[in-house]
Amino acid sequence: MSSAKPAATRSGEPISRGAGARQRVLRAALEVLDEHGLPGFTMEAVARRANAGKATLYRHWQSAGALLIDAMDATFQPFPEPDTGRVETDVAELLTAFVRLLEETPFPRLLAAFVDAAERDPALAALHADLTERRRQPLLAVLDRARERGQLPDHLDAELVTDLLTSPFFYRRFVAHRPIPEGMVDDVIACVLPTGFPSRRSKSS
């Protein structure tokens, strides 16, 4: 990276030219993954697609796995942390953004490829675990803040509640292969968050 030269390169266009070039490689990586799946995801294939040199790619990414993670990260921006004053509304905002992501290409396809690949490759599983960990942060932060404000009980297990709030959407999409119904976000929140409002017993918020 320190040898980044804006012009002149031995192997295709330099990717060190800045964000544009980096984006080009990441986009190429997503295209390769989408078309060929993980078995076809190699540094060679991405380099070819991005019209960059394989050696150049290796200077920026240690492995195809590392490149894949960056490409996954590039498929969406982290959700901004909402602060509406009500924990249910904050959580609903985050989950709604997440559901939208699950209904969009290419994220679900990439995630599905990851689920399979991680079973066969512990290094990839560790990378995926990190990625998931980062994506949980906004929700964990919202729950922690609500606890500090007395909107949720002190002893609430925020990690478990984060699992419970997000996992039904993964499950619907990737295991049950059912549509995510209108109102499911509200129903999940009403079921999981230990607050009096919206009523735990009511079906809609």
Per-position x/- string for 76-115, each x denoting binding to its own copies as judged by CB under 8 A, each - no binding: --------------------------------xx-xxx-x
- Give the number of other Cβ atoms within 10 Å of residue 9's Cβ: 16
Of the candidate spans 18-26, 41-49, 83-91, 160-168, the one that interacts with its own copies by CB under 8 A turns out to be: 160-168
* Integer Cα distance of 180 and 103 in angstroms: 9
Query: Does residue 171 bind its own copies (CB under 8 A)?
Result: yes
Q: What is the DSSP letter of 12?
A: B
- Cα 39 to the chain's mean position, in Å? 21
84 or 105: CB nearest its own copies:
105
Number of amino acids touching its own copies (CB under 8 A): 48
Query: CB 30 → its own copies: shortest distance, Å?
Result: 14
Query: CB 71 → its own copies: shortest distance, Å?
Result: 16
* Integer Cα distance of 182 and 160 in angstroms: 24
55 or 129: CB nearest its own copies:
129
On the 0-12 / 13-18 / 19+ scale of CB atoms within 10 A, 6 is exposed
Query: CB 10 → its own copies: shortest distance, Å?
Result: 34
Size of the chain, expressed as the number of residues it contains: 205
54, 47 in Cβ contact below 8 A?
A: yes
108 or 198: CB nearest its own copies:
108
55 or 176: CB nearest its own copies:
176
Query: CB 48 → its own copies: shortest distance, Å?
Result: 20
Helices (H), the chain: 19-36, 43-50, 54-60, 64-74, 87-102, 107-120, 122-148, 158-171, 184-192
- Give the number of other Cβ atoms within 10 Å of residue 97's Cβ: 16
Write out the two tokens for 134. 């980062």
Of the candidate spans 9-17, 59-67, 71-79, 130-138, the one that interacts with its own copies by CB under 8 A turns out to be: 130-138
Residues that bind its own copies (CB under 8 A): 37-39, 108-109, 111-113, 115-120, 125-126, 128-129, 132-133, 136, 153, 155, 157, 160-161, 163-164, 166-168, 170-172, 174-178, 184, 187-188, 191-192, 194, 200-201, 203
